[in-house]
Chains A and B, each alone.
Chain A
Amino acid sequence: QKEVEQNSGPLSVPEGAIASLNCTYSDRGSQSFFWYRQYSGKSPELIMFIYSNGDKEDGRFTAQLNKASQYVSLLIRDSQPSDSATYLCAARRGSTLGRLYFGRGTQLTVWP
Chain B
Amino acid sequence: KAGVTQTPRYLIKTRGQQVTLSCSPISGHRSVSWYQQTPGQGLQFLFEYFSETQRNKGNFPGRFSGRQFSNSRSEMNVSTLELGDSALYLCASSLGQTSTDTQYFGPGTRLTVL
B13 to chain A, nearest CB (A): 20
Pair count A-B, CB < 8 A: 64
Q: A68 at the A/B interface (Cβ < 8 Å)?
A: no
Q: In which size bucket is the chain B interface?
A: 20 to 34
B7 to chain A, nearest CB (A): 14
Complex Cα–Cα for A36 and B33 (A): 16
Query: Apart from A43-B107, A99-B45, A99-B56, what 11 extra A-B contacts exist at CB < 8 Å?
Result: A36-B105, A43-B105, A46-B102, A51-B99, A96-B56, A97-B55, A98-B49, A98-B56, A98-B96, A100-B33, A100-B103
B-to-A contact residues, CB < 8 Å: 31, 33, 35, 42-43, 45, 48-50, 55-56, 58, 88, 90, 92, 94, 96-108
The 6 closest A-B pairs by CB, nearest first: A98-B48, A102-B43, A31-B99, A43-B105, A104-B42, A99-B56
